[in-house]
Amino acid sequence: MRSLALFSAVCAAFALACGLYVAFAPDTGVTGTPGAWLVVAGAAACTLVALLRAFRWPGGDNALLLALCGIGMALTAIAAWFLMQPAIYVALAYAFVLWIAEIAIGGREVRA
């Protein structure tokens, strides 16, 4: 198990839960908006990717794939920033940082 990826998945899952809340709950300012659904979908993808990396990663050390996943996290965080949802973008920022750390450190640990 890759612990940094797991922590990244936990952060992304938290963002997903917050995203679902603001998308469904009334009077959040973004209830039911396309932007909220975009962030929900992005956070769900981030969670899934990080979980896969933690437990059963099919992509090997494909740098491009890992980088694209990181970019996805960053863009989802930016989208959440434009929704003015600090809980989501802070959680996704942590997920992104942990993901980068996983690529940089976790990868080396595995190779060692």
Q: Which residues bind another protein (CB under 8 A)?
A: 26-30, 33-36, 79, 82-84
Which one, 15 or 83, has the nearer CB to another protein?
83
Are the C-beta atoms of 52 and 58 separated by less than 8 Å? yes
Residue type, 103: I
Distances (CA, A) of 85 to 38, 60, 79, 81, 100: 13, 34, 9, 6, 23
* Nearest distance in Å: CB 30, another protein: 4
Which one, 33 or 65, has the nearer CB to another protein?
33
Which one, 48 or 78, has the nearer CB to another protein?
78
* Nearest distance in Å: CB 60, another protein: 36
DSSP string over 62-103 = -HHHHHHHHHHHHHHHHHHHHTT-HHHHHHHHHHHHHHHHII
* Nearest distance in Å: CB 70, another protein: 22
